[in-house]
Amino acid sequence: MQAKIHPSTPVNLRRLAAVLRRGGLVAIPTETVYGLAAHALDAKACRAIFQAKRRPANDPLIVHVLDLAHAEQLAEFNATARRLARRFWPGPLTLVLPKKNVVPGIVTSGGPTVAIRAPAHPLARRLLRLAKIPLAAPSANLFGYISPTTAAHVREGLGRRIPDILDGGTCTVGVESTVLDVTNPSRPRILRPGAVTAAQLGQFLGVKVHGARSRGARAWQLAPGMLERHYSPRTPLVLQHSPAKPPAGIAVVWLRQPRKSVAKNVFWLSKRGSLAEVARNLYNVLRRADAGRYRQIRVEPLPAEAGGLATAINDRLRRAAAKR
């Protein structure tokens, strides 16, 4: 049976909150991407997330909470983490901290830390209020594939593996949250770049925030999204600047819309080159190109010196292009 997409009526929100309290799965919108949510303190419910996504057990989950007070019931916060939560929550910043015993080991892949954030999407927040439980919610797609930014994307990938999807429209950020390791508050380290940038964090904290590493077993265990290959279309993806007239059978993704009409195998991420628009459209465009049955997808990478949100976009593209 195909998953049902539910409009965000008060009745549906109450019903889906009850499903989550009972240990069921619900795909929910957040400002970053859609997440596959389950009761974070119910090990059996969290195990169902791994099964539905075909996710390896050594890739931990992010726990979503309403606010700092709820987060402190699950993790050991230091002063730096509290400052960050008060400044950037609700929003696309995930903090990695020592977990409390109440958090099941399956959520953290057996590790001593938990990744936690307060989402900004109004429907995710209403569900958290109604359910009155923390929600573990990795991206609502089959493991390793392009993350979903619409309810339709979720149903395309998990439609026969989960029962319920809450429709919250298109995600406004479009790439996953920034993951920041603050277990050592004097040396905060980004494990996965996102919309909250290293420059923003460093300016706020007054210390250097170290950037994400491309590899590292410890980083991979601390947080999700650290695999070398991730967010990948089924069609081989290559990062390179492409000519104005790409060869037949090749899908080309440009950063901004060309002024002249172009071939059907040319896609673009933004009308004017806005980084926020590029991030918001990235996964949808990659999905469209992947559905076109091309031999290859070529994507123009952002300039390395662009910084800011470009770091997160290039990170996702690099992982999508990594060899199988």
Find, among 67, 154, 58, 43, the residue nearest to 117 by Cα.
Answer: 67
Both tokens of 129, joined, read 């209020």
pLDDT tens, position by position, 44-81: 999 999 999 999 999 999 999 999 999 999 999 999 99
Domains belonging to the chain, first-starting first, are: 4-222 (3.90.870.10), 237-321 (no CATH)
> What is the pTM (predicted TM-score) of this model?
0.95
Residues in the chain with pLDDT values less than 50: 216-220
